[in-house]
């Protein structure tokens, strides 16, 4: 664990990181979003657009493991009986397969199915926290807040997909609960590149209304120097 705090270059301005109270959070890097045949593709998206985030996330994950930073992975998905899936979510839009339907990676967005799992490149290691969430935000109907408070975590380095949906929703929830969120731009991605940019712009606007935006390179450099 880096012993001294770091000043991280970020937008809208530099932000201090106390490594002992900081966690790496990787949101929904699941096969259902990143691979063909999953939830993302059933909604009509080009899933290859999310691939750019995998390499930078992998570097962040390796560095966090090396220095002993807490790591939290999240997965969006539902119970097999769909008891935690609101009808309004299941019935939304005109996907080729709906949540719970059988697809090439098992039932779409259902816990325990191959598609619900995290991509092999970013697979959680033993001891890392995995939060299963039914919503877009990682704090809704989960134990995340209690787990973070129990570990004294106050700052989140946020990675994952998609920038404007689950990353933004989680950052807003975290901000309201008093956490400092630093979103790593190259570790996030969207099916809509313009939404990725807009999602980051919304976080750092107005003096950082929801948090900060930085990059994996800046964090890795700060870690090395600390």
Closest to ligand C5J by CB, 21 or 195: 195
> Which residues lie closer than 8 Å to 66 by C-beta, 6 or more apart?
none
Q: Give the nearest distance from C-beta 136 to ligand C5J in angstroms.
A: 6
DSSP bridge pairs for 21 = none
Least CB distance to ligand C5J at residue 197 (A): 16
Q: How does strand 155-161 pair with strand 180-189?
A: parallel
Tell the residue number behind the tokens 């997909």, with chain if given. 161
CB of 21 to ligand C5J, least distance (A): 26
* Comparison of 144 and 223: residue with beta carbon closer to ligand C5J: 144
DSSP code of residue 3 = S
Residues in touch with ligand C5J (CB under 6 A): 28, 33, 76, 136, 161-162, 165-166
From the list 32, 132, 159, 166, the catalytic residue is 166
SS (H, E, C) 32-49: HHHCCCCHHHHCCCCHHH
**CB burial string 6-24: b at 16+ within 10 A, e below:** bebbbbeeebebebbebbb
Catalytic one of 133, 136, 159, 188: 133
User: CB of 107 within 8 A of CB of 114?
Assistant: no
Is residue 108 classed as helix, strand or coil in its secondary structure? Answer: coil
Whether 166 is catalytic is yes
Which alpha helices (H) appear in 23-119, and where do they start and end?
31-34, 39-42, 54-67, 87-90
CB of 165 to ligand C5J, least distance (A): 3
- Rounded Cα distance between 202 and 48, Å, is 24
CB nearer ligand C5J, residue 8 or residue 49: 49
Nearer to ligand C5J, 28 or 113 (CB): 28
For the question of residue 133 being annotated catalytic, the response is yes
Clarify whether 28 is annotated catalytic. Answer: yes
Catalytic residues: 28, 133, 166
């Amino acid at each position: 664990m880096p012993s001294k705090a770091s000043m991280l270059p970020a937008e809208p301005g530099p932000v201090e990181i106390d490594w002992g109270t900081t966690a790496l959070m990787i949101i929904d890097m699941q096969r259902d979003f990143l691979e063909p045949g999953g939830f993302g593709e059933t909604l009509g998206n080009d899933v290859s657009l999310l691939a750019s985030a995998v390499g930078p996330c992998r570097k962040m994950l390796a560095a966090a493991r090396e220095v002993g930073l807490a790591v939290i992975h999240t997965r969006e998905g539902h119970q097999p009986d769909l008891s935690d899936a609101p009808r309004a979510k299941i019935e939304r839009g005109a996907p080729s397969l709906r949540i719970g339907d059988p697809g090439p990676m098992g039932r779409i967005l259902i816990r325990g199915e191959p598609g619900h799992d995290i991509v092999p490149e970013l697979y959680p290691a033993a001891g890392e926290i995995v939060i299963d969430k039914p919503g877009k935000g990682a704090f809704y109907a989960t134990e995340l807040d209690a787990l973070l408070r129990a570990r004294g975590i106050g700052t989140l380095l946020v990675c994952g997909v998609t920038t404007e949906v689950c990353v933004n929703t989680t950052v807003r929830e975290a901000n309201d609960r008093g956490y400092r969120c630093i979103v790593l731009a190259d570790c996030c991605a969207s099916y809509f590149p313009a939404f990725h940019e807009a999602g980051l712009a919304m976080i750092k606007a107005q003096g950082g209304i929801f948090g900060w935006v930085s990059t994996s390179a800046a964090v890795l450099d700060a870690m090395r120097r600390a």
